[in-house]
Structure 1
Amino acid sequence: MKLVLEIVLLASAGVVYSADDCKRDMEVVCYYGSWSIYRNDIGLFTTEDIDPSLCTNIIYTFAGLGLDSKIGSLDPWADVEKRGFANLTGFKEQYPCLRTTLAIGGWNEGSIKYSVMAYTEESRKAFADSVLRFLVYYGFDGLDLDWEYPTSRGGLPDDGKNFAALLKTVKETIAPWGLTLTTAVPIDVSLLNTAYDAKVMAEVVDYVHLMAYDYVPSTSNVTGLSAPLSAIKVTVGNWIAAGLPANKLVLGVPSYGRNYVLKDSEDHDVGDPVLKAGEPGLYTAEEGFLAYYEVMEILSDPFLGMRSVHVDDTNYAYGNEEWITYETETSVRTKAQYAVDQKLGGMMIWSIDTEDFLGLYGTKFPLLNAIHEVLKQNKLKV
């Protein structure tokens, strides 16, 4: 029997919501990096810092695969003991139209063990059954499958067809219980051609989240823009041409910057040589990576003398030997309007914990609010 949520009773307020009340014109998907609870000082971000009113779907990252190829917690202390899972799914008591999703995978999980899990029909079904039990037990509304990436990083050439089969198996298993299936996909066109069957995905998944950033990674030996709109347009076109309907494609934007150390401080244009990835941020502590609030801290320091340049509907800044590619409210508005014009399924942000969630440099969650401004201007319901 298919279990579909038609009416949600918000007991505390005595309000009844029908399925029609929760219909929306576009998605606003918010990824939450659960490891942000380990950051210090103003970087510390917990579920209490989330504003659920700004998201239609909050995705908790990440669960992982165990030795038995079944889903499991990667950090039981954060997820269970500190009630990360429960706090996130608990938002639905106050926001009954909100969806809370659990993501499995991510970069650090790698690809090989997902390749092994997806290799046989038996192991795919065992995984799907474990997903159903896990989601229901912890109260999530769906799964976001973030295998990075089929056919690469040690995977097999058969991963493409096995990934398609895995999606079908998971959807057939969880859909009868009203649970959704989404997946995150890369910008690499060679992966699109080998690892993903867009036509199958169009039939099976509810939404595809396009990670439209890191067009130039932190390992690059030259400066480059992380999220230039011209490149994004090509990538979106590639996915649609491959068979994915525009209304199932959700466009991702980064709430972080990539930084580099210039080889010569006088050579600071796009494409100029760099020595290495930039120094870690004080709070995020990752080379070549800065949270949006860390970028703003650097740009607002008059002693650093950073100069900002807006190009290709994104931004970079330079000063001395520092070079940063990042987004602003303006560039995010442009990308949101592009998503509206192309009738995409919505917008996604990676990630809410690297936003200016404290409002240190203006409005709280400025990038997310910029997305909402555009959608409201276009009279779209979210």
Structure 2
Amino acid sequence: MDLVKAPTLFLVLLSLTIWGATSAPNRGGYWPSWAQDFFPPSRIQTAYFTHIYYAFLSPNKDTFQFDIDATTASALTSFNTALHGKNPPVKTMFSIGGGSAGTELFSRMASSRNSRATFIRSTIQVARKYGFDGADLDWEYPQTQTAMNNFGLLLDEWRVAVNNEATSTGKPRLLLSAATHYKPEIYFNELCKYPVASINKNLDWINAMCYDYHGPWTPDATGAPAALYDPNGDLSTSNGLQSWISAGIQRQKLVMGMPLYGWTWKLKNPSVNGIGAPAAGIGPGNEGAMLYSEVQQFNAQNNAKVVYDTQTVSYYSYAGASWIGYDDVNSVQRKVQYAKSLNIGGYFFWTAVGDQDWKISRLASQTWTT
């Protein structure tokens, strides 16, 4: 084609190319292995996702290699067979660690070149043996700056290893991601900052866990678990995302997390029932947690009062002394619109199994892609 004679078409094609390169959405969902009996991977509606994460696998605490027993091996194979065979297919990742794995295992693993190399080799072996497209590290959280620096070294060496493996085998390069704190720094006994330069260089994206701002660990007052805005401070998704951007992360490598669950409280006085209301510990659910679908059932069965809070862009409901903070259709749509306005890489849900008839997943996907 003579582009000189078709300048308008050229500009259209150029704009589409640029838009596609910078705005291709990452629409992820974690699938917890404990959901196998009631929500197998085959039930996931892949039209609403681009990446599904198997959660979780953890390496041996002494060898830092993955010991996969026969039951787990079967589950991993079934997971990938089901999701790669879907129409449309999705990319699959196995997520390593998780909140229950703690930090000590990964701190030791990342502390020396030899243990990092052993871990890296094992991740590549697991990914190839069971058919994953990549690996996701959910280290919650590096608790010293030394651990953060070692996290950066791990990413440097992991990237080299997956590149070399792809070159030597001719296979597509494995994807690498990490689940991170909602902000690029976190305070334990000292202020710890994520190695943003290493993240930019080595990871395909990060999944910033923009939730759990309030929950059972804040038992004395209700709170918005995943507020987009915090009218009283900076404990919010907007602050987290803006902090990552200010720290220099490449926008397309920043993915916003959203919860498909809520946290519950028991109100001290049912007549005082807003966000920040005095509470006397956790409310209904599994240790105060309820899947989004369970929240909807609770609201219907108990004729709960449902409130959309415009200041935090979140929902809460209450029935008697039971109070639940969560996200629903309107707050999710507002969050996705906000994330899209920042030109970041997309969003993910913890967890894909929490939805009710896919209405949140469907809405989020439509909001981002239209």
Instruction: Provide the TM-score with structure 1 as the length reference.
Output: 0.82
Structure 1 alignment gaps of length 5 or more: 1-21, 39-43, 281-285, 357-363, 378-382
Aligned pair in 2 of structure 1 residues 226, 76: CA closer, same or farther (>3 Å)? farther
Q: Residue 210 of structure 1: which of 203, 208, 216 is its match? A: 208
Contact 2:138 2:180 in 1 (8 A): yes
Counterpart Cα distance in 1 of 2:184 and 2:317: 28
CA distances 1:145-170 after superposition (whole Å, capped 9, x unpaired): 0011111xxxx541011011111111
Q: Which residue of 2 is the match for residue 184 of structure 1? A: 179
Deviation at residue 76 of structure 1 after TM alignment: 5.1
Q: Which residue of 2 aligns with 1:296?
A: 296
Tell me the residue number matched to 2:26: 27
Contact 1:63 1:72 in 2 (8 A): no
Show the counterpart of 2:192. Answer: 194
- 1:71 is matched with 66
State the Cα deviation string for residues 155-214 of structure 1 (Å, max 9, x = none): x54101101111111121123421010001112564185141112211110011111111
* Structure 2 CA distance for partners of 1:371 and 1:180, relative to 1, 3 Å: same
- Across the aligned residues of Structure 1 and Structure 2, the Cα RMSD in angstroms comes to 1.9
Q: Is the 8 A contact 1:88 1:100 kept in 2?
A: yes
- Structure 1 partner of 2:222: 223
Is the CA contact 1:246–1:343 (under 8 Å) kept in the aligned structure 2?
yes
Counterpart residue type for residue 30 of structure 1? G
Q: CA deviation at 1:62?
A: 0.3
Letter of the 2:121 counterpart: D
1:54 to 48, 58, 64: 48
Are the aligned partners of 2:305 and 2:319 in contact in 1 as well (CA < 8 Å)? yes
Question: Residues of 2 paired with 1:232 and 1:194: CA distance?
Answer: 19
1:341 aligns with 341
TM-score (norm 2): 0.84
Q: 1:245: Cα distance to partner?
A: 1.5
- Counting only pairs closer than 5 Å after superposition, residues 94-105 of structure 1 correspond to structure 2 as 94-95=86-87, 98-105=90-97
In structure 2, the residue matched to 1:3 is none
Deviation of the 1:84 alpha carbon: 4.0
Question: Which residues in structure 2 correspond to 1:204-283 (within 5 Å)?
Answer: 204-220=202-218, 221-230=220-229, 231-280=236-285
Corresponding residue number in structure 2 for 1:7: none
Indicate the SS of the match to 1:372: helix
Q: Distance in 2 between matches of 1:76 and 1:328?
A: 39
Change in 2 beyond 3 A, CA 1:316/1:94 = closer
Distance in 2 between residues matched to 1:372 and 1:127, nearest whole Å: 35
Match of 1:369 in 2: 362
What residue number does 1:6 align with?
none
Q: Structure 2: any 5+ residue segments left out of the alignment?
A: 1-19, 167-172, 230-235
Post-superposition shift, 1:90? Answer: 4.2
**Please, which moves more after superposition, 54-63 or 195-204?**
195-204
Q: Is the 8 A contact 2:136 2:179 kept in 1?
A: yes
Report the counterpart of residue 232 of structure 2 in structure 1. Answer: none
- Cα distance, 1:252 vs. partner? 1.0
CA drift at 1:91: 2.4
Task: Indicate the residue corresponding to 2:17 in structure 1.
Answer: none
Report the residue type matching 1:233 in the other structure.
Answer: S
Cα distance per residue 1:119-141 (max 9 Å; x no partner) = 10111011101111111111101
Deviation at 1:93, TM superposition (A): 3.6
Say whether the 8 Å CA contact 2:228–2:335 is kept in structure 1.
yes
Instruction: Write the mapping of 1:104-123 to structure 2, written as runs, cut at 5 A.
Output: 104-123=96-115
Q: Over residues 219-252 of structure 1, what are the superposed CA-to-partner deviations in whole Å (9 max), with x where a residue is unaligned?
A: 2121000111112111111111111121110111
Displacement of 1:88: 2.7
Instruction: Please tell me the residue identity of whatever aligns with 1:140.
Output: F
Cα deviation for residue 100 of structure 1 reads 0.5
Paired residues, number: 330
Give, in whole Å, the separation in 2 of the partners of 1:162 and 1:330.
Answer: 40
Q: Which amino acid aligns with 2:240?
A: T
Q: Which deviations, in whole Å up to 9, do the C-alpha atoms of 1:34-54 show, x marking residues without a partner?
A: 11125xxxxx11112111222
- Matching residue's letter, 1:158: T
Distance 2:336 2:81 in 1: 27
CA distance in 2, matches of 1:100, 1:348: 13
Identity score, percent = 27
